[in-house]
Amino acid sequence: MLTFIDFKRNCLRKDSSINNKLHFFSRHFSVRLAYILYSLGFTPDFTTLIFGLCGILCAILFFYDFKIAGYILWRLHIVFDMADGNIARATSNFNQNAKLTDKFTHIVVNIMVICGLFLGDKIFLQNENNIKLFISLLPIYVIYFLFDSFTISHNLDLRNKLPSNKFFIILKNFCTQEGLLFVITFISIFPKIKLDTLNYSYILIFYNLTFLFAVLFKLYFFKTKNKILKD
């Protein structure tokens, strides 16, 4: 059995500097959790199952309007997500389909979470315009995450092309899924700030635009990348 020091050294990613900056909060817990799970005999695949179950439970909690508890499960599911890769690298226990399974689980969880977040809120459902804005956001949101699956099969990593300073990473997270979940959860903590139909409209318009921009940017990147490869 590996010691924690050996485990930590073995589970180091090739892109650890970039990945740690992207997950500047969760990275502080993922290695220790991974080592605990490894000590208990958990395999990478079983850890992936746990991360998926945490994500589904998060969606259920959001749907029943337990936003704070749902957000805590969201953060926990990310830590488990990072932990399965740590165990696989540390033990050289690689499943050929692990990356595909991981991304598929992400897509299922992400769709469930965003649906639970909005469709479980009675105030949101009272406004027809908000429902239309949600319907327009959902396909853009799904396409955004499908790009990640596309990069696996084409060995493309957009993260290496983006600035890695903390300001940009925080801005990027705020303008995508992390920000969407955090904003709605944060507002729900304070009774004086009510999530009325108008606030939902502003939030949905903002994230429709930011996700659309992110998708267009990725399309531009892949088009440029393919052109370079062909030349």
- Mean pLDDT across 42-71: 93
CB 193 within 8 A of CB 187: yes
Q: Which helix (H) or strand (E) holds 129?
A: helix 128-154
Q: For 135-168, give one letter per residue: b (16+ CB within 10 A) or e.
A: eebbebbebbbebeeeeeeeebeeeeeeeeeeee
What the chain holds in terms of domains, given with CATH numbers, is: 22-230 (1.20.120.1760)
Q: Which helix (H) or strand (E) holds 7?
A: helix 4-10
What residues contact residue 72 under an 8 Å CB cut-off, 6+ apart?
A: none
How would residue 155 be classed by pLDDT, with cut points 50, 70 and 90?
low
Q: Which long-range contacts (CB under 8 A, 24 or more apart) does 221-226 make?
A: 221/158, 221/161, 222/147, 222/150, 222/156, 225/156
The string of pLDDT tens digits covering residues 57-75 is 999 999 998 999 999 999 9
CA distance 126 to 65: 15
CB 200 within 8 A of CB 130: yes
Q: What angle do CA 148, 26, 67 make, to 5 degrees?
A: 85
How confident is the prediction for the chain on average, in pLDDT?
83
Longest Cα pair distance anywhere in the chain, in angstroms?
58
The tokens of 181 are what? 């979940």
- Mean pLDDT across 41-45: 90
Q: Within a 10 A sphere around the Cβ of 61, how many other Cβ atoms?
A: 22
Q: Which of 127, 129, 113 is nearest to 196 (CA)?
A: 127
- Mean pLDDT across 102-114: 90
- Mean pLDDT across 98-113: 87
The tokens of 29 are what? 């817990």
- Mean pLDDT across 20-40: 79
Q: What is the pLDDT of residue 229?
A: 46
Q: Within a 10 A sphere around the Cβ of 228, how many other Cβ atoms?
A: 8
Task: State which amino acid sits at residue 1.
Answer: M
